[in-house]
Amino acid sequence: MKLDKSKPYGSVHGDSKAAFEQDGVLFDADGEALQDGDAEESAVVETPAPLKKPGK
């Protein structure tokens, strides 16, 4: 499974092999899905906030 950058995804920070998260699946820096147990538990998933409309 590959990361689909045309859909919303989050970045992962910390000591982990994971670099991205999408739909509950972790992906490495190359966009390849990681198997359960491949990512370290100290990773923090950060999903970007939706963009605000001007004037709101």
Q: Is residue 44 part of a domain?
A: no
Assigned domain for 48 exists: no
Task: Give the strand order in the sheet containing 44-46.
Answer: 25-27, 20-22, 10-13, 44-46
Q: Is residue 2 part of a domain?
A: yes
pLDDT value at residue 36: 73
Whether residue 19 is contained in a domain is answered as yes
Q: Does residue 14 belong to any structural domain of this protein?
A: yes
Q: Are the C-beta atoms of residues 49 and 11 closer than 8 Å to each other? A: no
Reply yes or no on whether the pLDDT at 40 is more than 90. no
For the record, the structure tokens of 18 come out as 């994971």
pTM, rounded to two decimals: 0.67
Domain with 2, as residue range(s), is: 1-36
> Residue 46 falls within a domain, yes or no?
no
Is 55 contained in some domain? no
Residue 26 lies in a domain: yes
For residue 37, give the nearest of 51, 17, 56, 22 by alpha carbon. Answer: 17
Q: What pLDDT shows up at residue 47?
A: 66
Residue 56 clears pLDDT 90, i.e. is over it: no
Q: Looking at the 3D structure of the chain, how many domains does it have?
A: 1
pLDDT at 50: 66
Q: Length of the chain, please? A: 56
